[in-house]
Structure 1
């Protein structure tokens, strides 16, 4: 697997799986009726942020990540990351590889830490992955997420120094 910076040419492959994840409404706070254009504008971030893709040996996009400043001004030294793995590729190390890559990239780019603002507590695979990569849950917003099947569940704020 190769991880590289995402390009506009990667967008159709990213949207091909991102759309289903967004529409399901189980793991992200995106509006479920998000358009491809809105998603592209929020995912393919301008510098100093970056978007990445994990690509298989056959050239297929297996997953994607983006890293941006969590806040502007006095909070601009903290990175924020988002990650999606294409269905059928979960549990194969794609998310871990993207996580490791983005943590290294963020540190090299001068960020001091990475914070995730909204990790849905029922997304146990993601919570376990981020904990295994050194993130800690620093707070949980009780009933902060309206899960389509489980009702109101918590949103974790997760943090790791770089």
Structure 2
């Protein structure tokens, strides 16, 4: 498997396939389930962020973004988002993307990584982030409208670099 910077020209449709499958579930990301392919561009390929993909034999299995969490005096902390193709779940893709993002953030001069909204019911992600050195630093009660469970808490998670 290889992780590389995504090309909007070559990888856009593959990333869209993953993005749309993930957000349509309505259980892990705040993006609207009906997000269009055009709208995804502003969420996943904006100028202020770097987008990566992980591929195997020419197939994109996952993607992540990294960007400053805040502008100006808060730009020393990174923010990331990760998505794995449903067909690739259980293969350690999320772990590989997280490890890559930590290394990339360090190389880029970030002092930490913050996740602003981790859905409390996303137990797989919570375990992975905690194993990767992130800790819960805040809770937003009922901060997410889960498609099936209704209002659930969200966490802010942080890892110092």
Q: Corresponding residue for 1:50?
A: 50
CA contact (8 A) 1:25 1:32 kept: yes
Q: Partners of 1:99 and 1:90 in 2: how far apart?
A: 14
How many correspondences in the alignment? 160
Q: Corresponding residue for 2:6?
A: 6
CA contact (8 A) 1:45 1:66 kept: no
Structure 2: unaligned runs, 5 residues or longer: none
SS in 2 for 1:20: helix
**Structure 1 runs of 4+ with >4 Å offset:** none
Q: Corresponding residue for 1:29?
A: 30
Q: Partners of 1:71 and 1:90 in 2: how far apart?
A: 31
TM-score, with length taken from structure 2: 0.96
Shift of 1:91: 1.6
Q: Partners of 1:125 and 1:11 in 2: how far apart?
A: 26
CA contact (8 A) 1:44 1:50 kept: yes
CA contact (8 A) 1:139 1:157 kept: yes
Shift of 1:104: 0.5
Q: Partners of 1:134 and 1:109 in 2: how far apart?
A: 19
Q: Corresponding residue for 1:137?
A: 136
Structure 1: unaligned runs, 5 residues or longer: none
Q: Partners of 2:152 and 2:42 in 1: how far apart?
A: 28
TM-score, with length taken from structure 1: 0.96
C-alpha RMSD over aligned residues: 0.9
Matches within 5 A, 1:1-162: 1-8=1-8, 9-47=10-48, 49-56=49-56, 58-162=57-161
Q: Partners of 1:161 and 1:85 in 2: how far apart?
A: 24
CA contact (8 A) 1:3 1:52 kept: yes
Shift of 1:46: 2.2
